[in-house]
Amino acid sequence: MPHDFASQDREQSQFRFRLGFAGVAVLLCFTLLFIRFFYLQVLQHDYYATRAEDNRISLIPIMPNRGLILDANGVVMARNYSAFTLEIIPSKSGDLDETIDALAAIIDIQPRDRRRFKKLLDESKNFESIPIRTKLTDEEVARFAANRYRFPGVEVKARLFRQYPQGPLGAHAIGYINRINAKDVDWIEENEQSANYKGTEHIGKTGLEQHYEFDLHGVTGYEQVEVDAGGRAIRTLARTAPIPGNNLTLTLDAKLQEVAEKAFGNRRGSLVAIEPSTGGILALVSTPTFDPNLFVDGIDPQSWKELNESLDKPMVNRALNGAYPPGSTFKPFMALAALETGKRTPGQAIADPGFFNFGGHQFRDDKKGGHGMVDMYKSITQSCDTYYYMLANDMGIDNIAAFMKQLGLGQATGIDIAGESVGVLPSPEWKKRRFKRPEQQKWFAGETISIGIGQGYNAYTPLQLALATATLANNGVMYKPHLVKYITDTRTGEKRLIEPKPLRTLPFKQQNIDTIKHAMVGVNKEGTGARAFAGAAYESGGKTGTAQVFSLKGGNYKESATHERLRDHALFIAFAPADKPRIALVVLVENGGFGAQSAAPIARQVLDYYLVGKEAKGPAAEDASGEESADVH
Amino acid sequence: MPTFINRFLNRLTDHLDGPLLVIAGLLLLIGTATVYSATYTTLSRVPSQILNIATAFAVMWVVARTQPTTLMRFAVPLYVIGLVLLVLVFLFGVKVNGARRWLSIGFTRIQPSEIMKIAMPLMLAWYFHKHEAALRFKHYVVAALILIVPFGLIAKQPDLGTAILVGAAGFFVIFFAGLSWKVLVGLLVAGGSALPFLWNVLHDYQRKRILTLLDPSSDPLGAGYHIIQSTIAIGSGGPLGKGWLNGTQTHLEFIPERHTDFIFAVFSEEWGLLGNIVLLVLYFFLVGRGLVIATNAPTLFSRLLAAAVTGLFFTCAFVNMGMVAGILPVVGVPLPFMSYGGTALVTFALGLGILMSIQSHRMLVKK
């Protein structure tokens, strides 16, 4: 192509002209800015200097009341109350230790208060006022007022406090609030809420308090105050009222929660109860629990250490973060998979000699000599391992993984609390991702066999197991689990319903679901759950489970001889009433031994209360080392 | 001096542009001092800003060493990626405070509109360069389309600040490519008559901001508050300022974003008119140097790109200072090399690097 030099020249000169034009435009714009600056800083300087120095207008944030948290029946789980606190502004007071010692002479200050003050001091800015004592009595307020002149930088303030009237009840679901730290500040800025959090000192740290933070917080109001050069307020010019935070009403039933927590006695474990037709969480237990009230005015380091270092791990939310092998509670889902994929019919029976040989290894059933002829119904009611060893081998790991994924196992459920674990849905792909060395990455066919009875790499959260059980109970329609039923706008009284969201409808044949449910009803009628459910006023379906924590070589497993913490976990899944389930649940008792022995009785107490209002006298499970093991599992 | 040290120093600096480096360096110095002043009482942002500066310098250094022809190769892919991400934001973006600007990618969030600030001028400069031999009206129409689609997506998020910057960067390319004056005036008239329609399209908060601009006192605690407080800060600064760290207005009062978009209020209160003049002169030199580089650039692509990047610097500086001084609406636009923030700084460093690349590879191309 011949180059058109004439046109290129024309183009260049046109470009230069435009650049020149732009240069002039830039100069004009900057001149405009200069004129504006000159106007503000020279011509109007006196006016603005006056406004800035003599009559500074200061905005004083007015805190909104934090929204309440109520259970399904209006029982208050979290509220606010006003109390006097004694606070020190470090930058304005002298030597801190001296000041505190002098204060201790007139007001009761415990070592715990001092420790907490030190911790808050480390975390805060120097000009903030930091509480040394909260909840002063009227007498203490009066005594300080009389001595006030001796303490510059110390003052008594009326503050709103969060209170959890139910104490430790449901603490893992409700969560708690605590003072805002640097990480929270970043989060607030990221959400462009800095202005709204001006003056706010507390923020939801865990559970619902965290998840619904912006709903609960409300909108900060402002008082526009004229202040003099010394910063003292002279008069109020305008006031924008704060908008209180919205109230949360939960699907959780505090009374049911209490029954469930009591049923655990002193055992460690978890219970998740779901309403199958909505996904509403009725109870969410993680024991041992803790008192969220400890955190509200800043927990002292020693109490924190105790909570954190306890062998029982009370701060861990076992329902969402504990991942356990499901043991035999996996079997109904395996059976459903067998029916759906056509690998088994309900009537097809196998002969169980008490073991299954595969690749030179013997996979043993717990019942010596075996269960005889076992069909699907019996495989569930009697919890026959051999049946599932064979089934897993016939199905193959890929089919199992694909099926269980649909049920939400090994997947985040999307519950309205942050930080749930995903657990492990074992598959060859998972193993490849999980392990680094190639020789560890290979999937062995033998590994599939133990997957069939819920052992091996299987690890699910109680919440996932509860969701899968609820989905089965609800004939394959899965609802997203949630704790909040509706949010009430405190200004308008309008209720914003958290719509139950069908996550998916699983394409299972009703006939197959009925077969599994029928067998689970059989478990509680004549199978491994029969003892726990003897004489129940309703028909229920269940499945017991025992998950190995530790396998002793030689297999001569004597429960009482094993250290308590190495004992098997006990599990139980259930739904009731059998024909139209209103509740589905999972019970997990850590190191509880057999599912039928420690987990099923807990489920019985919870179902009894929920369905017929019957309350048990004592806990269903207590740590009882040395007790004879039951003959069913 | 041993030759290897010489050679190392040469290699370190051979593609950097002295004037640009000095101006940007001075602005960063002033900026960091101001960020310190704005944040030292609460949570000092200086350490992380220094980290941002180091990152930005590395980006600038690498880009400056890159041939303009190589930069050209990035034009289409970068634009396409940016556009796809913007569509993804539109469909699945994370909504924060009513604005859908971010894409959540597991561990962090990204704001794709930032990419467009650079991708847009690259793309348009490439497009005009490709059709250099015979530019016709239809090419301007296509260019306008290339501009309008991402602009619309960003404005819809809504992120008026970034939309203005992306729109301006694109417009500069089209203007310098020789868009007819008649069309330009025509557009201006058409734009003017479309204002009432535009008013209806705006989000409530945007209308509120514009109304507030006309009468800040109408909403002293809400949208007008920024402007009232920042003009008081500037005005009370006076001819010589209150001195570093002495800006009572900005320290004691409630100016949100005082270390990012409103950093100029802090600077102006503490350094007064004198400081502002220094700042204006520095920005004027920055823009002037950019225009000189554009004038000397050998190819249409590098000319247009240099001019557009320069225009971007100008727009940011002018809109930001104009907004803080209360003569332009409040839109989120950072002040180049002064505002705190990694993303903005890297974007500006990228622009600097592009200018340096065009300047330093000028001779090579001519040969």
pLDDT in tens, A531-559: 999 999 999 999 999 988 754 444 444 55
What pLDDT was estimated at residue B273?
96
Do A139 and A283 lie in one domain? The reply is no
What pLDDT was estimated at residue A116?
82
Please identify which residue in the block is written with the tokens 């007071």: A93
Q: Which residues of B touch A17 (CB under 8 A)?
A: none
Do A79 and A200 lie in one domain? The reply is yes
Asked if residue A464 is part of any domain, the answer here is yes
Segments of chain B scoring below 70 in pLDDT: 1, 96-98, 106-109, 205-206, 209-210, 212-224, 249-256, 363-367
Do A181 and A278 lie in one domain? The reply is no
What pLDDT was estimated at residue A474?
96
Task: Give the confidence band of A530 by pLDDT, cuts at 50, 70, 90.
Answer: very high
How many CB atoms within 10 Å of residue A427? Answer: 21
HEC readout, B243-312? CCCCCHHHHHCCCCCCCCCCHHHHHHHHHHHHHHHHHHHHHHHHHHHHHHHHHHCCCHHHHHHHHHHHHH
Q: Do A41 and B254 touch (CB under 8 A)?
A: no
The Cα B214–Cα A434 span in angstroms is 61
Residue A631 in this model has a pLDDT that exceeds 70: no
**How far does B238 lie from chain A, in Å, by closest CA?**
4
Do A37 and A78 lie in one domain? The reply is no
Asked if residue A629 is part of any domain, the answer here is no
Report the candidate in B155, B142, B147, B145 with the shortest Cα–Cα distance to residue B89: B155
Size of interface A-B (CB pairs under 8 A): 137
How many CB atoms within 10 Å of residue A567? Answer: 23
Do A401 and A460 lie in one domain? The reply is yes
**Over the stretch A409-427, which tens digit does the pLDDT of each residue have?**
999 999 999 989 999 999 9
Higher pLDDT, A119 or A511: A511
Do A343 and A221 lie in one domain? The reply is no
What pLDDT was estimated at residue B63?
95
**Over the stretch A144-176, which tens digit does the pLDDT of each residue have?**
888 888 888 888 888 888 999 999 999 999 999
What pLDDT was estimated at residue A127?
55
Q: Do A182 and B43 touch (CB under 8 A)?
A: yes
Task: Give the confidence band of A210 by pLDDT, cuts at 50, 70, 90.
Answer: very high
Asked whether A256 and A610 are in contact (CB, 8 A), the reply is: yes
What pLDDT was estimated at residue B295?
92
Higher pLDDT, B7 or A94: B7
- Does the annotation mark A13 as catalytic? no
Q: Tell whether ipTM is more than 0.90.
A: yes
**Over the stretch B245-295, which tens digit does the pLDDT of each residue have?**
887 766 655 566 778 888 999 999 999 999 999 999 999 999 999 999 999
% of chain A beyond a pLDDT of 70: 91
| Nearest-Cα residue of chain B relative to residue A33 | B322
Residue A565 in this model has a pLDDT that exceeds 90: no
**How far does A188 lie from chain B, in Å, by closest CA?**
11
Within 8 A by CB and 6+ apart from A533, the residues are A524, A525, A540, A542, A600, A604
Do A266 and A179 lie in one domain? The reply is no
Report the candidate in A495, A499, A496, A494 with the shortest Cα–Cα distance to residue A482: A499
The Cα A264–Cα A249 span in angstroms is 26
Task: Give the confidence band of A124 by pLDDT, cuts at 50, 70, 90.
Answer: low
Q: Indicate the DSSP class of residue A459.
A: B
Asked if residue A349 is part of any domain, the answer here is yes
The Cα A63–Cα A159 span in angstroms is 10
Q: Do B97 and A33 touch (CB under 8 A)?
A: no
Residue A278 in this model has a pLDDT that exceeds 90: yes
Task: Give the confidence band of A179 by pLDDT, cuts at 50, 70, 90.
Answer: confident
- Supply B241's token pair: 């300022």
Q: Do A222 and B295 touch (CB under 8 A)?
A: no
The total of structural domains in chain A comes to 3
Report the candidate in A22, A281, A138 with the shortest Cα–Cα distance to residue A270: A281
What pLDDT was estimated at residue B215?
66
Domain boundary among A232, A248, A264: A248
Higher pLDDT, A9 or A63: A63
Interface test with A, best of B232, B258, B259, B260 (most A CBs within 10 A): B232
Do A221 and A274 lie in one domain? The reply is no
The reply to whether omega before A577 is within 30° of 0 (cis) is yes
The reply to whether omega before A288 is within 30° of 0 (cis) is yes
Within 8 A by CB and 6+ apart from B254, the residues are A58, A59, A195, A198, B225, B229
Angle at Cα A534 formed by Cα A528 and Cα A538, nearest 5°? 105
Q: Do B284 and A27 touch (CB under 8 A)?
A: yes
Lowest mean pLDDT segment, chosen from A18-27, A612-621, B80-89, B114-123? A612-621
Interface test with B, best of A14, A19, A43 (most B CBs within 10 A): A19
**Over the stretch A241-264, which tens digit does the pLDDT of each residue have?**
889 999 999 999 999 999 999 999
Q: Do A59 and B254 touch (CB under 8 A)?
A: yes
What pLDDT was estimated at residue B116?
92
Higher pLDDT, B101 or A79: A79
Asked if residue A619 is part of any domain, the answer here is no
Please identify which residue in the block is written with the tokens 């907004």: B323
Do A370 and A476 lie in one domain? The reply is yes
Asked whether A564 and A549 are in contact (CB, 8 A), the reply is: no
Residue B118: enclosing H or E segment and its boundaries? helix B113-130
Q: Do A52 and B252 touch (CB under 8 A)?
A: no
Pick the catalytic residue from A129, A270, A328, A379: A328
What pLDDT was estimated at residue A1?
39
Q: How far is CA A98 from the centre of its chain?
A: 43
**How far does A152 lie from chain B, in Å, by closest CA?**
21
What pLDDT was estimated at residue A471?
96
Higher pLDDT, B356 or A224: B356
What pLDDT was estimated at residue B336?
96
Q: Which residues of A touch B252 (CB under 8 A)?
A: 56, 58, 231
Domain ranges of chain B: 18-360
Interface test with A, best of B111, B173, B236, B262 (most A CBs within 10 A): B236
Which CATH number fits the domain that encloses residue A205? 3.90.1310.10
Do A234 and A271 lie in one domain? The reply is no
Do A230 and A298 lie in one domain? The reply is no
Asked whether A555 and A362 are in contact (CB, 8 A), the reply is: no
Q: Tell me the DSSP string of A359-418.
A: TTEEEEPSSTT--EEE-HHHHHHTT-HHHHHHHHHHH-HHHHHHHHHHTTTTS----SST
- Supply A248's token pair: 């949360």
Containing structural domain, residue A235: 59-248
Bridge partner residues of A115 (DSSP)? none
- Is A352 annotated in a binding site? The answer is yes
- Is A384 annotated in a binding site? The answer is yes
The CA distances from residue A573 to A374, A568, B134, in Å, are: 22, 16, 76
Q: Indicate the DSSP class of residue A482.
A: B
Residue A88: enclosing H or E segment and its boundaries? strand A76-88
pTM (predicted TM-score): 0.64
Report the amino acid identity of residue B142.
V
Do A32 and A130 lie in one domain? The reply is no
What pLDDT was estimated at residue A632?
40
Q: Do B237 and A127 touch (CB under 8 A)?
A: no
How many CB atoms within 10 Å of residue A485? Answer: 20
Q: Which residues of A touch B176 (CB under 8 A)?
A: 15, 18-19, 22
The mean predicted confidence, pLDDT, of chain A is 87
**How far does B322 lie from chain A, in Å, by closest CA?**
7
